[in-house]
């Protein structure tokens, strides 16, 4: 970081802290309840809360994150044994007591899917617990151990990182949420000024990014997607005015194209990606390079995975399903996307710049 940037960051921390304190002091309880009630955490009809309605209960392995009662059970805040979650009736959301029950604000450390325990700052342990994904770079590596990089293997199934794993992104290589390539160094916790906290950027009740209240003081743009500090043209498209979001979006799209080409030319079976359909990668049955009716169906899920292609698809999906990755840890996401492309094609995207 340049001296100027360090200086700017240090004075803005003070401005930032003062802003947050005064903003919080004004928030009434009514406003908090209204903010929460219209947030995704309260949306009982969302797929994330209604997925199990037909079965009538949320199974043990899903309940921790899909209802407040699951988190209370996992940490033993409800008087039950900590570390275990029982199946729950459907209909729960992320209620007030998910975060306000005694003990929740002060969860000191959280275990991530890579197995690593990481410290959680005040008020953020709950967010880290649920927004961490369900797979990791190491779990992908373990599933592929001993297999030939470019040989399709019917025993390999797609590993879904799960959704909006912001806490894994933010911790970068420390949580190892994405698959990282050997011999490369990766960014760790994104120590964004002033602090790497979910709650410094998101209102914990409305969940909205505190754009006006917080970001604009330092970044001077009203759309987070337009924010950039770096001067490098990471994606090599000649545009250094686009937000860091645009640098990532181009590299992500290029990785998608590289996966399609690899599937066709090396794995030997063309693939399509369908963003809203589990398990996302399907055989392009009529080989026309796009999704046609009936192709994105579970029985037609892609089944010619090679280890190299699975690692790439996992990283592609991780980035697709953390739409805030550009703010959660832009350097880490850029590094992973560039390395994944290089692993698939033999060279990084033309003109791209890998952040150190
Ligand atoms: Ca660019
Ligand atoms: Ca771009
Ligand atoms: Ca097709």
Give every CB contact of residue 98 below 8 A, 6+ residues apart in sequence: 41, 68, 71, 72, 104, 126
Phi-psi region of 292 (alpha: psi -120 to 50; beta: other; left: phi over 0): beta
- pTM of the predicted structure, to 2 decimals: 0.95
Helix (H) or strand (E) holding 109: strand 109-111
| CA atoms of 104 and 125, how far apart (whole Å) | 7
Tokens read off for 246: 């645009």
Q: Which ligand is nearest to the CA of 251?
A: 2
End-to-end, the C-alpha distance of the chain in Å comes to 12
Distance in Å, CA 132 to ligand 3 centroid: 33
Q: What is the pLDDT of residue 19?
A: 42
Nearest Cα to 182, choosing from 343, 36, 41?
343
Which residues are placed with Cβ below 5 angstroms of ligand 2, an ion? Answer: 235, 237, 246, 250
Q: Which ligand is nearest to the CA of 254?
A: 2
Distance in Å, CA 355 to ligand 2 centroid: 15
The C-alpha R_g of the chain, in whole angstroms, comes to 21
Q: Which ligand is nearest to the CA of 239?
A: 1
- Identify the band that residue 26 occupies on the pLDDT scale cut at 50, 70 and 90: low
- Check whether 255 has a pLDDT greater than 80: yes
Dihedral, CA atoms, 303, 308, 310, 313, nearest 10 degrees?
-120
Q: How do residues 298-354 score in pLDDT, each as one tens digit?
A: 999 999 999 999 999 999 999 999 999 999 999 999 999 999 999 999 999 999 999
Query: Angle, to 10 degrees, between the axis of helix 307-320 and the axis of helix 330-345?
Result: 150
Q: How do residues 186-197 score in pLDDT, each as one tens digit?
A: 999 999 877 889
DSSP state of 238: S
């Amino acid at each position: 970081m340049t001296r100027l940037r360090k200086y700017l960051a240090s004075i803005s921390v003070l401005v930032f802290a003062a802003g947050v304190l005064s903003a919080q002091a004004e928030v009434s309880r009514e406003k908090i309840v209204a903010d929460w009630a219209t947030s995704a955490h309260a949306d009982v009809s969302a797929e994330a809360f209604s997925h199990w309605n037909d079965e009538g209960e949320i199974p043990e392995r899903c309940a921790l994150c899909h209802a407040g009662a699951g988190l209370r059970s996992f940490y033993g805040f409800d008087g039950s044994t900590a570390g275990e979650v029982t199946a729950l009736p459907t209909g729960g959301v992320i209620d007030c007591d998910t975060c306000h029950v005694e003990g929740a604000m002060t969860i000191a450390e959280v275990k991530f899917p890579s197995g690593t325990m990481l410290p959680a700052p005040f008020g953020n342990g709950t967010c880290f617990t649920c927004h961490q994904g369900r797979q990791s770079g190491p779990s992908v590596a373990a599933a592929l151990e001993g297999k030939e990089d470019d040989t399709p293997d019917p025993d390999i199934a797609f590993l879904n990182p799960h959704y909006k794993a912001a806490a894994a992104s933010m911790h970068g290589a420390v949580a190892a949420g994405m698959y990282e390539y050997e011999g490369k160094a990766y960014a760790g916790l994104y120590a964004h000024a002033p602090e790497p906290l979910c709650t410094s950027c998101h209102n914990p009740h409305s969940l909205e990014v505190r754009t006006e209240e917080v970001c604009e003081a330092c970044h001077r743009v009203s759309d987070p997607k337009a924010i950039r500090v770096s001067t490098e043209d990471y994606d090599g498209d000649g545009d250094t005015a686009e937000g860091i979001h645009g640098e990532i979006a181009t590299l992500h799209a290029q990785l998608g194209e590289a996966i399609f080409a690899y599937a066709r030319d090396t794995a030997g079976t063309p693939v399509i990606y369908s963003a809203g359909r589990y398990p996302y990668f399907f055989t392009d049955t009529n080989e026309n390079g796009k999704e046609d009716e009936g192709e994105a169906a579970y029985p037609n899920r892609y089944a010619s995975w090679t280890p190299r292609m699975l690692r790439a698809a996992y990283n592609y999906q991780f980035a697709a399903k953390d739409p805030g990755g550009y703010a959660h840890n832009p350097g880490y996401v850029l590094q992973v996307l560039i390395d994944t492309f290089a692993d698939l094609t033999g060279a990084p995207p033309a003109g791209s710049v890998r952040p150190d």
